[in-house]
Structure 1
Amino acid sequence: MAASGESVRDVLAGNLRRARLELGLSLSELSRRSRIGKATLSQLEAGAGNPTIETVFSLSRALEVPISDLLDRQEPSGLTVVRAGDVEVLRGEGVDLRPLRGIVSGGALFEVYDQQVRAGRRQDSLGHVGTEHTIVQAGRLAVRVDGRDTELGPGDYIAFDAGLPHAYTALDGTVRSVLLLQYDAGRRLHFGAAEPPHRDDTP
């Protein structure tokens, strides 16, 4: 995830361009796949945009890469401490996400997030790569996955194919939860030290 001192905006700018070029996509094609305007994508790559949860997840879905390929991640060490105040919050229509750590284990990549669903709000997702795991810590959370509704309370857990359309709704006040996104580690892009040659951005 973004290192201390680096904003999500700055990290996303470099990683988005590298991911797009590695996959051989023009801005026009990425715009078509992600349903994000070409001008907005250009701003994001220049570090001038204002990324939201919806934007980052749309890019993850369009590029078919883990979120951490876009937001970077700290390499594991003997001891990792992440302070709440040191992590920039990604905000969406109804959710605040703080990326905490990426963990590679047994051929799988896990991304760990502190997730808060704001009181009375709903966060919709069209779907993205990976498997989604949520553990509720406080509050009551309504989860809709591909038209099926489930209600969760403190200590409850749910997992589902994140490629399915899904939504979270806080029922009684703010919901605190832990979100884990799981991917096959083979899905990760392997950025080289040098940026790929510039590709002419013709529609």
Structure 2
Amino acid sequence: MSVDPVALAVEIGHRVKAARTDRGWTLDQLAAAAEVSRRMVVNIEQGATNPSIGTLLRLSESLGVALAELVEPPRTGDVTVTRAGDGTLLWRGEHGGTARLVANTTTPDALELWEWTLEPGDQHESDAHIACTRELLMVLSGELTIVLDEQSTVLHAGDAITFNGDVSHVYANRGTASATFSMTVFDPERANAGRGSVDSSEASLG
């Protein structure tokens, strides 16, 4: 069953606010730690906006929680099955590409499995993740260009790549046909992963 984007935005907002409260942070503190505006944090917590992957990653890393803890439906048992097409849609490209989070584990380390489709001309630019993040990617069809610190690597169906995710990187389809790939992201244990260590006395109450 596909996820209603409005309902997903509301649920993300509740989870961000709960994680912020658990950490004892104000709105200003989270905004500073995640390097986003206070207004953006307010809008997200109110469910008034669908944040980008980049913003969600900044929030999850700052709060010391896995991305999946903010966006995935609650688990109901030890086995979770995601049917084809039912992953959480977290990105849509200008030319019709999509990125879905289809499976994950969250403790003690975060491990995410993604399903991507890039149409010709689509690209996604990703900021550097937290230290020690690793990405493993395999192209299923088409041609995919990976740019790591301005160095490009072209991959075709059956090719795979592993790289450190703590540098800026780009996934791009510069070919003439759709490109599909699966990607696994490993984030190390997040007990001390929050970017910010802002003194609560430095910001106004949220």
**TM-score between the two structures when normalised by the length of structure 1:** 0.78
Spell out the pairing of 1:91-106 with structure 2 (5 A cutoff): 91-93=91-93, 96-103=98-105
Answering whether residue 131 of structure 2 is matched by residue 127 of structure 1, we say no
Shift of 1:85: 4.2
Structure 2 CA distance for partners of 1:140 and 1:112, relative to 1, 3 Å: same
Q: Which amino acid aligns with 1:160?
A: F
Shift of 1:51: 2.0
Aligned to 2:117: 116
* Matched residue SS, 1:29: helix
Aligned to 1:13: 13
- Size of the aligned set, in residue pairs, is 191
Q: Which runs of 5+ in 1 are unaligned?
A: 190-198
Aligned to 1:51: 51
Shift of 1:5: 6.8
* Matched residue SS, 2:166: coil
Cα deviations by residue, 1:73-117 (Å, 9 ceiling, x for unpaired): 553756543223434411255652211111368x54311111122
Q: Which amino acid aligns with 1:100?
A: V
* Matched residue SS, 1:86: coil
Cα deviations by residue, 1:53-89 (Å, 9 ceiling, x for unpaired): 2321232343343211222455375654322343441
Q: Note the aligned Cα RMSD (angstroms).
A: 3.1
Spell out the pairing of 1:24-173 with structure 2 (5 A cutoff): 24-72=24-72, 74-75=74-75, 77=77, 80-93=80-93, 96-103=98-105, 108-129=109-130, 130-172=133-175, 173=177
Spell out the pairing of 1:165-184 with structure 2 (5 A cutoff): 165-172=168-175, 173-184=177-188
Structure 2 CA distance for partners of 1:89 and 1:181, relative to 1, 3 Å: same
Q: Are the counterparts in 2 of residues 52 and 92 from structure 1 also a CA contact under 8 Å?
A: no
Rounded Cα–Cα distance in structure 2 between residues aligned with 1:146 and 1:40? 28
Cα deviations by residue, 1:136-193 (Å, 9 ceiling, x for unpaired): 1111111111232211111111122212111111121322111111123x3169xxxx
